[in-house]
Structure 1
Amino acid sequence: MRNDEWRLLDLKLSSYAASTSLTSTLLKLKSEEKIPNTLGLFTFERPSACLFYYNDPEKELDLDFCRQKDIEIGRRDTGGSPYWADPGTLIIYFWFNRKQLPGFPETVAEAYRFLIGASAQAISERFGIPAVYRPLNDMEVLGKKVAGHTVTFLGDACRWGSGPQVLKPRMDLMSRALRVPPEKFADKEAKTVEARVTNFEELLGRVPSFEEVKQTYVSALERAMKIQFQREGYSPEEKQLVEEETARIFSEDWLMAMTERRKLGDPLSAEWARGEHALKVPQGPLIRAVVLMDGKIIRNIFLTGSVHCVPVQLVEEMEAGIRGLEAEEGVLRRTVEDFFRRPGVQVPNCSPENFVQAILTAAGNAWKRN
């Protein structure tokens, strides 16, 4: 396959949650240059709700409702907000070596702008609707979200994901399955999930075919990156590795890793005062800080939300660096800034000050309750 000919996978999977084993496996293989640059187009047989790395499932999903309605739950290995996908959703993934594309952005934030911008332009031209990029990682039409996105860097490999809603979603299920905190809407006109999202069927006033939406994305990426896609299948090695990864991504240890009980234990049995605060960064992530305070000392801390960061474990490492510190602005700022200054670290549309503010407010709430 020539350098300007990239592989295209077009698959129907059981659910978006089930696709997480594939997306993580292909990113690892691409970082090791064991697979060609690849575009994946995925549709699904059943609905699912997918957590991202720093989402607390007990706070951001109605787990009982999901079980009752047979809504499959998954968890991704990158930053973002919980995402709904059903048989009306098209999920697009793109695994490639970013160093092979002259001029491709070096930062996650600019990669979002480049890739979403190219897709929005193609959708506007093809369907006659005013699709635009909205920072950090959304595509909007007339102020409503029509697709969410992720970008992950692993070495020279980049994985880009897009989730356009082609047909009307099962809003009766989606609005119950996702527990969207009110802070999430702080920088948006819409204040509910129903008011925030839209879909191609609603925008066009007709039922679009998945094929025309797929072809629009394929054409947009071919034009933006000066490449061509060739339809191919899995290799036997890829198939085996994906099957092996599936057991891990559906394990209780992986799905529930970011619950407060697992991270902090039972705070009610501790002598320390608990405080919590959620902060929405304008055109950036939601940061939720939970702290256990022993006087002025942060004995334990748990940071969740929709933070996008490179490396993905950065926020967990930051937690470890903060435990045992005094909840004092200067101390916290110096500590968090040290993490942000590490070589290769990226936390798009988010600053050390945002984390410090969330942590200090949580500490203040703990003192008020003590």
Structure 2
Amino acid sequence: MPELRYILCNYSYADYSISISPAIERGLDEKTVPSTVVLNVFSTDSITSGYLDDPEKAIALDYCRRQGIVVRRRQNTGGAVFGPRGGAFLCFYLEPVRLGVPLTNIKDAFRISLNAIADALRELWGLNAQYRPLNDVEVEGRKVVPSSARLERGILSLRLMINVVNTDRDILRKAIITIPEKVQDKQIKDLGQRFTCLESELGRKIEVADLEALARLTVSNIFGQEMALTPGALTPQEEKYFAEYQDRYNSEEWFFANSERLRFKDAPAEARKTEGCQKAVAGLIRVTLLARDHKIRDLIITGDFHPSPYGVIKDMEDALRGEPCSLAVVRRKLEEIYARPGVEMAGIEVADFVSAFAKAFEQAS
């Protein structure tokens, strides 16, 4: 009988994201661990900021510290994400070809897994759950299971975030910093109109046993009833990787890598700091400059957009450092980078960056 390792754990959303998940992925990549299903029930409130963002500008760190909210910086891009205590991840770490399952591309992985958990929600509790492409499950039009996926070197990492408990909107409002540029092009709606949770839908507390039943039925719906879930734990090697990632990604050097406190710590007193923000289709662009004598002495480009590869942002900074505060120069340098093979900026145009620089230059003049 085919089997998957099954791990039940209770790390915070943030610590699971930066340490446990990559530890399992690394073990699977090295072929030292089997394909694995993890149910992680979040032990405490936590928030992550994206790889390219400045946590000091995305998250109210003092507020989170007072409230005991765990804050980490992720290894992937995007905006700040809040994981409440009692929420859950149902995660799959698989080698689809070896398992002989049709999850060999991201689109099919989302379709099959999210239809499976939607079916399980209907079968277990009668919820009118439906898969909404590309990567959500909704109940009556409200999101209950968002998801993310990555497929690299034949290894699929699929993370289904189950909205189990109500998210305190006051905490979200106070913990996550939202600047006007971020929301200027959209009508802000009440979270209750866009999201729901299992406890609200069922009118009762959801226990770990309920989530385990949901996990097992979802696995059966994906792989068939013949697939066994074998209880297990992290291997000693995975535990070692987990400890390494905790040390690395909890360090101040990592957390504040995009922050002014580290990047501008040696800034000369005569340099003027300015900042410009621009909301593009794919997210917020923030340009922070140190200008002197009409030249860019130093700069930091941050935000919640998704460049590929990530290192292209450093290339932009390096290309513009020391150049005149000129929009024509900015445009020319960025167009050269955009034209490189393999560079992708979905939803972000050169003009979006130029607009952010224009706002920063205006303050510097």
Q: CA RMSD in A?
A: 3.5
CA distance in 1, matches of 2:312, 2:219: 30
Mean Cα displacement is larger for which, 156-165 or 56-65? Answer: 156-165
SS of residue matched to 2:10: strand
CA distance in 1, matches of 2:20, 2:362: 46
Deviation string 1:288-323 (CA, Å, 9 cap, x unpaired) is 130537899766553333334565545444544565
| Structure 2 contact 39–90 (Cα < 8 Å) conserved | yes
1:60 equivalent in structure 2 = 58
CA distance in 2, matches of 1:192, 1:269: 44
| Structure 2 contact 285–305 (Cα < 8 Å) conserved | no
CA distance in 2, matches of 1:132, 1:65: 36
| Structure 2 contact 320–333 (Cα < 8 Å) conserved | no
- Point out where structure 2 has 5 or more consecutive residues left out of the alignment: none
Correspondent of 1:6 among 4, 15, 18: 4
2:68 equivalent in structure 1 = 70
Deviation string 1:243-272 (CA, Å, 9 cap, x unpaired) is 233222221112222224434558895646
1:257 equivalent in structure 2 = 257
2:157 equivalent in structure 1 = 159
The equivalences for 1:165-244 within 5 A come to 165-181=163-179, 184=182, 190-191=188-189, 196-225=194-223, 227-244=227-244
SS of residue matched to 1:233: coil
CA distance in 2, matches of 1:346, 1:118: 32
SS of residue matched to 2:87: coil
1:22 equivalent in structure 2 = 20
| Structure 2 contact 6–229 (Cα < 8 Å) conserved | yes
SS of residue matched to 1:176: helix
AA partner of residue 158 (structure 2) = W
| Structure 2 contact 105–151 (Cα < 8 Å) conserved | no
1:359 equivalent in structure 2 = 353
CA apart distance, 1:366: 2.5
Bigger CA radius of gyration? 2
| Structure 2 contact 94–155 (Cα < 8 Å) conserved | yes
1:288 equivalent in structure 2 = 285
CA distance in 1, matches of 2:239, 2:303: 32
Distance 1:207 1:147, change over 3 A: same
AA partner of residue 128 (structure 1) = L
1:336 matches 2:338: yes
| Structure 2 contact 43–86 (Cα < 8 Å) conserved | no
AA partner of residue 155 (structure 2) = A
| TM-score normalised by structure 2 residue count | 0.80
Distance 1:260 1:179, change over 3 A: same
CA distance in 2, matches of 1:268, 1:113: 54
AA partner of residue 358 (structure 1) = D
| TM-score normalised by structure 1 residue count | 0.79
AA partner of residue 16 (structure 1) = Y
Distance 1:44 1:53, change over 3 A: same
1:39 equivalent in structure 2 = 37
CA apart distance, 1:66: 0.8
CA distance in 2, matches of 1:258, 1:60: 11
Distance 1:110 1:266, change over 3 A: farther
Deviation string 1:207-251 (CA, Å, 9 cap, x unpaired) is 333433443344334433555432212222222332233222221
CA distance in 1, matches of 2:22, 2:319: 28
| Structure 1 contact 182–191 (Cα < 8 Å) conserved | no
| Structure 2 contact 116–222 (Cα < 8 Å) conserved | yes
CA distance in 2, matches of 1:294, 1:117: 56
Mean Cα displacement is larger for which, 288-297 or 122-131? Answer: 288-297
CA apart distance, 1:277: 2.0
| Structure 2 contact 182–284 (Cα < 8 Å) conserved | no
SS of residue matched to 1:173: helix
Q: Percent identity?
A: 24
SS of residue matched to 1:163: strand
CA distance in 2, matches of 1:168, 1:188: 24
Distance 1:175 1:270, change over 3 A: same
2:248 equivalent in structure 1 = 248
CA apart distance, 1:42: 0.8
AA partner of residue 334 (structure 2) = L
| Structure 1 contact 96–157 (Cα < 8 Å) conserved | yes
